[in-house]
Structure 1
Amino acid sequence: MTIVDPSETGTVSYQKSIPGNASPKMELYGNGSLASSPSDPLCNGFHYSVDAKYTSPPNGLRGVSPIDGHCGPDQCAPADNIWSIQPGTPVKIRMGSHPHTDGVQPESVPTWFTRIATNNAARPALKVKRDGAWKTWTYQQYHNDVVAAAKAFIHLGLEPFHAVGIIGFNAPEWFISDMAAIYAGGLAVGIYTTNSAEACLWNASDSRANIIVCDDDKQVQKIMKIRHELPHLKAIIQYLGTPAHGPEEGVYSWAELLDLAKYVPDVAIMERHAAIAPNKCCTVIYTSGTTGNPKGAMLSHDNLLWTSRMAMTEAFTTLKSRRDIQETFVSYLPLSHVAAQMTDLYLSINTAGVVWFAQPDALKGTLVDTLREARPTALVGVPRVFEKMAEKMQAVSKKNGAVKTWIGSVAQDVGLRGNLKRFNGRSNGNGNGNPLGWTLANAMVFKKVRQALGLDRCIFTCSGAAPMMKETLEYFLSFNIPIYDIYGMSESSAPHTLNLPGAFKIGSAGRELIGVVTKIDKPDAGGNGEICMYGRHIFMGYLGNEEKTREVLDAQGYLHTGDIGRKDSEGFLFITGRLKELLITAGGENVPPIPIEDAIKEELPIVSNAMVIGDKRKFLAVLLTLKSEIDLTTGAPLDRLTKPAQEWIKENVGQDVSTVTEAVGLTSLQKIIEKRMALVNKRATSRAQCVQKFKLLPEDFSIPGGELGPTLKLKRNVVAAKYSDLIEQFYDDTDS
C-alpha cells in the first residue's frame, strides 16, 4: 500500500477527521480492497464488495463478471497513479483516515442512483413548468427514464468512455441525459448554451462525443453546422419541440429516443456496468476557457459521490434539528458548471430531494417567480445574481411611504447588528443575544421579505464562483438572510471550503470540507500564498492533456489552484487574489486587482463592473461600466440606466439622466467619481496600489458581448483586447 504524505512542505491545515497532532496521511486506494492503515485502526477490516445496497434492484444488477482485473461497477480497479488523462484509466483514490466520514466506501453512480431511486420511488424528484402547468417526475419515473435513455444511447452507438454532450437550459431531460450517459458506461459532458458552433466543436471533438442532446432547434442548428467535423458523432437528440430534421438524418425527438430502449436488452447495461469503477471517469467539466481552449476536468464516480456526501454531511449536521419536509432545490445556473451539477444533480439525489426547474429567462427576471412557487430549502447562486436581486429590492423599497421606509430602515439596522454579532466565526451562531427589537423586526420585516423572495424555508443560501461583495452580503444580512460563501473549482468537484450556520465568518470562504487538506504554499509575511488542495475530491486530470495536468497536480498529489489566500487562527480561508490575475507593476510590486475593484464598487454603487489595469505599467488605471438595463431576449446591455443608478446620480450629482450615454458625458459625474476614487485610494496599502486614472465605458460587460463567461466571471483578456486602444491612452499621455 502506497502512503502519500502531503505535509512535507508548506503550511498544512486539516480538520475534523484528522487528529490535530497527526500527520495528514491519506491512503491511496486502487487495488480492489482497502488495506489496514498502520496509523488508524478504524480502517482495519474495511473491504468493498460488488453488492449494491438497495432493495429489489431493477434488472437484477447485483453482480457481474470480472473485467480488466476487477468486478464492476462498485469495485475499485487496479491503479498505478493518482492522475490520468484517459477516462477509462483508473486512478488511486486519496482515501481519508476515518471510515465513517472521508473513508466511506466507494461506489458507482448507477448503484448509488438506483438505490436512492428505489428507496424513494414515490417521492417527487423533478418538476418543470410546461404550457403553464407543473409536470412532475417521481424517483421511479426518473430512474425508468434514465434506464430507457441509457439503452437508447447504446442503441445509437454510444461507446464506453465516449461522451454524451448536453447543450440546453436546465430541464429534467438534461438530468436524465447526464445520468443515462453514465449509466450506459459513457461520459456526461455539459456544453454551455452560450457557446458558438466553433466552441461546441472543441468540446464535442475533445470528448469524442457520440451523441449530443440539445434543448431546441437553435442548439441543433449549431451542431448541424459542425457535424461534418465530428467523426465520432452518431446522433443528435432534441428534447423540446419537434425537430426540423428526422431520424434519417440522425436527429431524434425525446420521445423517439426513449422508444429506442426496446431494442436493447438488460444484459447490455450489465455489460457496460462491468467496465465501470468508482475510480474511473464518468463526467467531464470543461473550464470556461478564459485563458485559451477549455480544458476537460475529468471527475470520477468517487469524486462526485464522495464530495456530495461530505457536503450533505457538513450541511445537515450543523442543524440542531431537521424539519419533516423534503429538501427542495431550484435549478437555474448553467449545468455545464460544476457548482450547479453538484448542487442540483448530486445533492438533490443524495437527500432524496426535489428539483424545481426555473424558466430559461430566470436570470433576466423570472427567477423570483420560481422561488416563490418552489420555496427551496437550499439555494446556490453567484454574486451577480444576488447583486441583481438586491438592486431590485432597493428599487422596490424606494417606492415605500415614509412610515414604511422608516420601519424598514430600523429593522435593517437591527438585522445587520444582530447578524454581525452572530456571524463572527463563533461556533454557537444560534441567535442568542439578539439586539433589542429583533423579535418585532423579524415579525414585521424579515419574514415578509423572505416570503416575498421565496426563501422562507431556505436554510442554506449560498454563493460560489467568486467572492461576494461585502456591501451585498451585509444588505442581505440586514434582512436576516445570510449568504454563505463557498470556495472550490471544477478540479475539486466543486466545494473545498464552505461557510455554514454556526461556522460563518464574513469575508471568508469558510472552513474545509470534512476530510480535505489545505496547504498555503510559499506564504509571505502576511501568511498569503498559493492555495493547494488535497483530498478525495481532487479530479483525475485533464482529458488528453498531460502537460496541463502536470502543471496543476504536484508529485504529492496536491492541486495547485492558482488562487492566493491565507488562513486565520480559527481555520477560515480568505481568498486574496489569483496568481494569473496578479498585476506586477513596472516597479515590481505585486497588486491583486479584485480587492481594489470591490472597493470601487462599494464607493460607487452605480458601477456594475470594474477592471483594474496595470500589469507591467507605471501606475494603475481602471475601466468602469455603469449599471444598465438588459435586453430580456438577448441578455445584451441596453443604454438605459437602471432605476437605482438614475436615482444615485440625481442624489449625488443633482442631474436627471436616464441613459449610459448621457451619464458618461456628465463632467459633474466624472468629478464625483474622482472624489470617490480618492476614498478608495486611501484604503490602499501602498502607493503602487492607488488608481490614478479611470474611464467610463459606453456599455456594460455581458455574456453576449464576450466580456463575461457563462457564470458571469470577468474575461480580463477579452476586455483588454477589446479596449486596447483606450488602455494605451492611459499611458500615452505625456502628463502622466
Structure 2
Amino acid sequence: MRFLLKSCRVCICVNNTARGPRSAPCLRKSFGKAFARHGALWTTAADGKVKIRLGPSCAQPPLTVHQMFKETVDKYGALNALASKKDGTWEKITFSEYYQMSWQAAKSFLHLGLQRFHSVGILGFNSSEWFISAVGAIFAGGITTGIYSTNSPEACYYVADNSRANIIMVENQKQLDKIMQIWDKLPHLKAVVQYKGSVTEKHPNLYTWEEFMDLGGNIPDSKLEDIIISQKPNECCVLIYTSGTTGEPKGVMLSHDNITWTAAHASRAGNMMPAEIQQETIVSYLPLSHIAAQIYDLWTGIKWGEQVYFADPDALKGSLITTLKEAQPSAHMGVPRVWEKIMEKIKEGTARSGFFKKKILSWAMSVSLERNLNNPRRGDMKSFLPTMADYLVLCKIRNALGFGCCEKHFSGAAPISPETLEFFLGLNITLYEAYGMSETTGPHCMSGPLVHSLKSVGKPVPGCKVKLANEDEDGNGEFCFWGRTVFMGYLNMEDKTKEVFDEEGWLHSGDLGTLDSEGFLYMTGRIKELIITAGGENVPPVPIEDAVKKELPVISNAMLIGDKRKFLTMLLTLKSILDPETSEPTDCLTPEAVQFCLDVGSKATKVSEIVEQRDRAIYQAIQDGINRVNAQATSNAQRIQKWTVLAKDFSISGGELGPTMKLRRPAVLEKYKEEIALFYEA
C-alpha cells in the first residue's frame, strides 16, 4: 500500500492558455484534427474499442471482468461472498457458487437471445440476483445496464431503448408493471425476468428467477467459453446513465479495463484489504445504477474477496442500522445525505436525553474533535482524555450505529459539509472522501487512513493524473482527469463526448477547485452550479448553503438563487419527519427542529404552522442566522437579500433530489419558478 501511494504523480496545469471545452470556441475548431490524432481514446459505439491509457505507475495488465472473477475464484473460492436475509436468517453463498451462478445466468441470457453489445437492464433494489445478473450479462457478451428503481415508466423506456435492451430483470410486480406499459415500444426487448416473488399473471417471455436460471441448460459451455475468450479489456461492458437534469440522460460507457483497474487500484488507495490479509465486510444499500455503489459493492467486492451483506429495500427508511448491527461491516460508504441523516438522528436522540447525558456526550465529542483536528502523535500525554472519552461514551454510540468493527468510513457522490465532517470526528469517525464521476468509473481521487487531509476530496489514485484548466489568480481551475478510470464515451452521443474531452484527450469534469503542494484536491464548486450575477460576480453556492444550514439547525435544505440576477436569494426547507412507508416528508417537524423552535420562543411542531402563519419567532431567527452568514460574505454581491420557506422538504419523489439524494438544481428552479419570480418583482 505504501509503495503504491508513493508512486502517485499529479500533473498541475499552470498554463493559462489551456482551455476547457465550455469556454473555448477555438478548441472546437481544432477537434477534427485533434481527434484524428487521439480518436482511439474514445468511441460512441456500443461495439467500439478504445486505446487503454497505459502508464508506468501502477501498471496492471488489462483484464476482462471474467479474468478478474476467475482470479478471485482461484484465490478466494471457499470464502463467503454474498449474504441475503430470508425469513430472518442470513443465507450466504461462496465465491465459487457466485461464479457458477453467474455462469448459469450467462447461458440463460444466451438462450433468451442476448446479442453481443446489447444490454441487460436491471431494475430493482440491491440483491444477490442483481449481482449475478450483472456478472452473467457481461460473461454472455452483453452490457450491464442499471435502471434506477425510482424511474418512471417513461424514464425506464429511455434507458431500455437507448441501450438496446434484450432482457430486463425486474425486482417485483411494482417494477414489472412499469415495463409492461412500455414493452410494445421496445423493439429489441425479448424477455423480462422477475427475480423476486411470484409472477401474478403469466405473459409470453416473462419468467421467474427460478425459471430463468434453468433456461440455459441446453447451451453448451463451449459456446459461452468462445464468447468469453473473444472479449477484450478495451470493450464496453457496463452502462451508467446520468441523471438527465440538463437534458436527456447520457449512457456512460465503461470498459472491462475501466471496471477491473478501478476496482483494484481505487480501493487499495482507500486501504481496502485483499481477503488473504483481512476479508472486508460491507453492506450494499445505495443504488447500484449509480457508479459509486456499483464499483464499491459489486466490482471491488469481487476483486478483493469481500463479503457483501444486502440491506432491506427500506434501508434508507430506517432499517439500515439493523443490518449494520448484524453484518458488523469493516468498511462503510454513504453519500453525504446519509451521513447527515445519521447525524440528525443522533442529535434528535441527544435532544431527548437528560441534562447529565447531554453534558457527558458534549464533553466526549469536544475532546475527540480537538484530538482529531490536532492529530497529536501517538503516545502524547494528551491522548488520555480522548481515550477515556472514547471508551466510556463514543464507542457505545458507534456500536449502536453498527460501526463497532468499522475501520473505514467513506463519503462520495457529492460534496459533504464541514459541519458533518466535524460532527463525526467528534464521534472518533473520520469520513474519507472519494471524488470522481460516472465518467471516471467512480473514484479518480481517494482519501483513506494513510492519505487524508480534512476538507480535501483526496489525492489522485496512484496511476491517475489531475490537472487544472483555466486556473485563476487564486489557484482555482477546472479539474481535468487522465488515467485508466476515464470512460470510453457517451453511447451514441458524439457531440456530448467531444464536449468533455480536450484536444489532448483529458476529461474535463466541470468541477472547480484547487490543488495544494502535496497533491490534495479541494473542491470549490461546479461550473454548471456557479452563479454569475448580473454584475458579473462569480458565486459558488455550496459554501453559502452549508453556512446557512450550520447556523440554522432547523433548516433541512437551502438552495441559493441568483444566476444572471441583480442579487442573491434562497429557498429554504424545514427538517421534517419522513413517512416510514413512503419516505415522503411529512408535516411534522423533527425533534431537533421542535427544540430549535422552543429555544427561539415558538411552540410550533408542524411545518404548516410555521409557513402558513409566518411564525414571527422562527422567521426572525432565520433572518438572524442569514444575517450572521452575510456578515462573513467576501463581498456585498455574495449576501443573501431575500429568502422564503417552502411548505415541504425536498425529496426524491418530489423531483428535487436525485437517486443518491443529490440536489437537482435545474428541477428545483423549474418547480419553484413562481416563488423565485416573487423575489425579483420590482
Contact 2:531 2:538 in 1 (8 A): yes
Equivalent positions of 1:266-345 (< 5 A) are: 266-316=221-271, 325-345=278-298
Q: From the superposition, tell whether residues 165 and 22 of structure 1 become closer, same or farther in structure 2 (CA, over 3 Å).
A: closer
The Cα shift of 1:244 comes to: 2.3
Aligned to 1:17: 7
Equivalent AA in structure 2 for residue 649 of structure 1: C
AA in 2 matched with 1:166: I
Taking a change above 3 Å as real, the CA distance of residues 290 and 596 of structure 1, as seen in their structure-2 partners, is: same
Question: Are the equivalent residues in 2 in contact too, given 1:15–1:516 (CA < 8 A)?
Answer: no
> Any idea what the Cα deviations from partners look like across 1:296-333, whole Å, max 9, x if unmatched?
0000010011111112322338x9x9996421010000
Instruction: Determine if the alignment matches structure 1 residue 683 to structure 2 residue 670.
Output: no
Separation in 1, partners of 2:413, 2:537:
27
Deviations for 1:571-596, whole angstroms, at most 9, x for unmatched residues?
21111011111111111111111111
Q: In the aligned structure 1, how far is the partner of 2:9 from the partner of 2:584?
A: 52
1:88 to 27, 30, 47: 47
SS at match of 2:270: helix
For the Cα contact (< 8 Å) 1:16–1:515, is it kept in 2? no
Which residue number corresponds to residue 620 of structure 1?
A: 568
Tell me, yes or no, if the aligned pair for 2:238 and 2:254 is still in contact at 8 Å. Answer: yes
**Structure 1 pair 431–310 and aligned structure 2 pair: CA distance change class (3 A):** farther
Alignment of 1:482 with 2:430, yes or no, is yes
Distance across 1 between alignment mates of 2:568 and 2:10: 44
* TM-score, normalised relative to structure 2: 0.93
Equivalence map 1:296-695=2 (5 Å): 296-316=251-271, 325-422=278-375, 434-651=382-599, 653-664=600-611, 665-695=614-644
Partner SS for 1:228: helix
Contact (CA 8 Å) 1:492, 1:539: kept in 2 or not?
yes
Specify the code of the residue in structure 1 equivalent to 2:532. I
Q: Does 1:120 align with 2:76?
A: yes
- Aligned residue in 1 for 2:647: 698
Query: What are the residue-to-residue correspondences of 1:97-176 with 2, within 5 Å?
Result: 97-98=56-57, 101=58, 103-176=59-132
Change (3 A) 1:158 1:475: same
Cα distance between partner residues in 1 of 2:51 and 2:13: 20
Q: Do structure 1's residue 188 and structure 2's residue 144 form an aligned pair?
A: yes
Q: What SS does the corresponding residue of 1:285 show, helix, strand or coil? A: strand
Contact 1:414 1:435 in 2 (8 A): no
By how many angstroms is 1:215 displaced?
0.5
User: Higher RCO, 1 or 2 (CA under 8 Å, sep at least 6)?
Assistant: 2
Query: Offset of 1:272 from its aligned partner?
Result: 1.3
- Within a 5 Å distance, the mapping from 1:23-38 to structure 2 comes to none
Label 1:434 to 1:173 Cα distance change in 2 as closer, same or farther (>3 A). Answer: farther
For residues 121 and 189 of structure 1, the distance between their equivalents in structure 2, rounded to whole angstroms, comes to: 27
C-alpha spacing 1:15/1:517, structure 2 compared with 1 (3 Å)? farther
Shift of 1:275: 2.9
How far has the Cα of 1:256 moved from its partner?
0.2
* Distance in 1 between residues matched to 2:379 and 2:432, nearest whole Å: 16
Deviations 1:677-712 (A, max 9, x none): 011112211111111000000000000101111011
Deviations 1:100-141 (A, max 9, x none): x2x111111011112212332221110111222211111121
Name the amino acid aligned to 2:188: H
SS of alignment partner, residue 437 of structure 1: helix
Gaps of 5+ in 2: 15-37
Q: Look up the SS of the partner of 2:267 in the other structure.
A: helix
* Kept after mapping to 1: 8 A contact 2:558/2:572: yes
Partner SS for 2:176: helix
Q: CA separation of 1:430/1:488 partners in 2, compared to 1, >3 Å: closer, same or farther?
A: farther
SS in 2 for 1:695: strand
The 3 A distance-change label for structure 1 pair 556 and 20 is: closer
Query: Matches of 2:282 and 2:214 in 1, distance apart?
Result: 30
1:373 partner letter: E
- Contact 1:521-1:530 at 8 Å conserved across structures: yes
CA change 1:19–1:538 in 2 (3 A) is closer
- Paired residue secondary structure (1:650): helix
Q: Deviations over 1:217-262 (max 9, x none)?
A: 110110010001100000000011011243x511100000010121
**SS of corresponding position for 2:663:** coil
- In 1: Cα distance, 2:512 partner to 2:201 partner: 50
AA at the equivalent of 2:7: S
Q: Is the 8 A contact 1:128 1:134 kept in 2?
A: yes
Q: Which runs of 5+ in 1 are unaligned?
A: 1-13, 25-78, 424-428
* Preserved contact between residue 529 and residue 540 of structure 2 (Cα < 8 Å): yes
**Is the CA contact (8 Å cut-off) linking 1:591 and 1:689 kept in structure 2?**
yes
- The alignment status of 1:226 with 2:226, answered yes or no, reads no
Question: 3-state SS of the aligned residue for 1:508?
Answer: coil
Matched, 1:719 2:655: no
CA offsets per residue over residues 391-446 of structure 1, 9 Å max, x none?
Answer: 111122223333332222211111000110129xxxxx868565441221121012
Match of 2:133 in 1: 177
Cα distance in structure 2, aligned partners of 1:127 and 1:80: 43
Tell me which residue corresponds to 2:659.
710
Q: Name which of structure 1's ranges 162-171 and 467-476 shifts more when overlaid on structure 2.
A: 467-476
Normalised to the residue count of structure 1, the TM-score between the two structures is: 0.86
What is the CA–CA distance in structure 2 between the aligned matches of 1:720 and 1:639, rounded to whole Å?
A: 23
Rounded to whole Å, the distance in 2 between the matches of 1:625 and 1:434 is 42
**3-state SS of the aligned residue for 1:520?**
strand
Moved more, 462-471 or 691-700: 462-471
CA distance in 1, matches of 2:648, 2:278: 45
**CA distance in 1: counterparts of 2:354 and 2:583, whole angstroms:** 33
* Residue 503 (structure 1) shift: 2.3
